[in-house]
Amino acid sequence: MQEHLFIKKFIEGGPGPEFGNLRRAVEVGRNACHEELERSQLVGRGGAGFLTAKKWRFVRDKDNTVLICNGDEGEPGTFKDRYIMENGAFMLLEGMLISAFMLKASDVFIYIRGEYQESIEAFRRCLDDYSAELEWYRSAIDPSLDITVVIGGGAYVCGDETSLINSIEGRRPNSRIKPPYPAEKGFKDRPTIVNNIETLSNLPLIIRDGGKNFASLGVNGSRGTKLISLSGKVKNPGVYEIEMGKLSFKDIIEGFGGGMRDGKVKFVIPGGISTQVLAADELQVKVDYDSLRTVGTSLGSGAVIVADDGIDAVDVACNVADFFMRETCGICFPCKEGNRQIHYLLEQIRQGKGEKHYLELIKDVGRTACLAARCGLGQACGNLVGSLIDKFPGDFLSRISDVVNGNGGGYG
């Protein structure tokens, strides 16, 4: 199976003479660039799945806009942004400059996960290597352009836009109540656009080939290509690029992944631990936003984690619950207390002290957190755990004392 190279081919080809795509963007003007972005139907690659052009419309007529590139990549199992930074930082930098031009943003930040030392060094080298292009931009477009590298503090919650903004401002990364949204009142109360690294890296391609060409790839609602971080019990883990909506998870596991190292597939986490799992009999679903929505899950960050039939769903659920409990910022009661209770109930089950009604209680707490939490962490914390309970109830029931001892009825 061959990858559908688009981003990777651009990276392999190098930056081209003097950032030609940036110069082309300046030549045709902001309005024409925005029209190409509209035609591309590019959806943000960070997980929320929001149309980039629609997001940018909120600030097109505003001055003093701030652009933030989110490279924190704290979602377990995700490493495709790291691939871009360490292999194609020039592509990202050109995308950031094109975006800054389109948004009239003088202040540009890139927030990189603190553990990604190689990525931080690679991007800083890129700024040095292309200092001439940066000076050209300042002389021709905006003399006040400032690109600041911010090193993340190791908080998963910084995947939330408002928490990330607080962190850049030097404050604790607590989430903010929305509205107002960052496009209205973000960094230091200025209109702010936050986009993922993979999202901005698509801008040079869209300017070079046109939005219509980009939209010719993929399917409705999921245009272009997507980088997938494939890990778990496959023979060939790595970063792969697929055309959206053309391949199933079964294709990815057997083709790019080379099949299982041992055992059979038990379930797949399709987009990081904030998404619902797919059982082995659901792997024919295509990898695109709408297809995954129809089966009750999402593509998230593109972190595809493959679990074999030797893995106990209870252990996975406990580990995920422990992660969310530790990573909540603590400012939001439904998320802070909800995750603590989910973790406690799951640990009781793992230790053989649980009761049948705990299963519904765990899901109910997860749903409550989803409805009441301030940011995406709390809104998604029950997704994976709830789906494991629904799809593998036997793993949980086998740990519950009154069922094991023959004193309980069926699940539910």
Q: Which amino acid is at 229?
A: S
Residues of the chain with CATH 3.10.20.600: 218-308
Count helices and strands (H / E) in the chain. Answer: 21, 11
- pLDDT in 10s for each residue of the chain, 412 residues: 667 788 888 888 877 777 999 999 999 999 999 999 999 999 999 877 789 999 999 999 899 999 999 999 988 999 999 999 999 999 999 999 999 999 999 999 999 999 999 999 999 999 999 999 999 999 999 999 999 999 998 889 888 899 999 999 999 988 898 899 999 999 999 999 999 999 999 999 999 999 999 999 999 999 999 999 999 999 999 999 999 999 999 999 999 999 999 999 999 999 999 999 999 999 999 999 999 999 999 999 899 999 999 999 999 999 999 999 999 988 888 999 999 999 999 999 999 999 999 999 999 999 999 999 888 888 899 999 999 999 999 999 999 866 656 555 445 4
Element (H, E) at 149: strand 146-151
Residues of the chain with CATH 3.40.50.11540: 7-215
SS3 269: strand
* pLDDT the model gives residue 49: 76
SS3 69: strand
Q: Which amino acid is at 194?
A: V
Residues of the chain with CATH 1.20.1440.230: 313-404
CATH topology for 313-404? Answer: de novo design (two linked rop proteins) (1.20.1440)
Length of the chain, in residues: 412
The values of phi and psi at residue 20, to 5°, are -60, -30
* pLDDT the model gives residue 412: 46
Alpha helices of 61-160 — where are they, by DSSP H?
80-87, 89-103, 117-129, 131-140
Top-level class of domain 218-308: alpha beta
* pLDDT the model gives residue 1: 63
Q: Rounded CA gap, 285 and 245, in Å? A: 9
pTM confidence score? 0.93
Q: Which CATH number fits domain 7-215: 3.20.20.450, 3.40.50.740, 3.40.50.150, 3.40.50.11540?
A: 3.40.50.11540
* Backbone CA torsion sign across 74, 333, 297, 359: positive
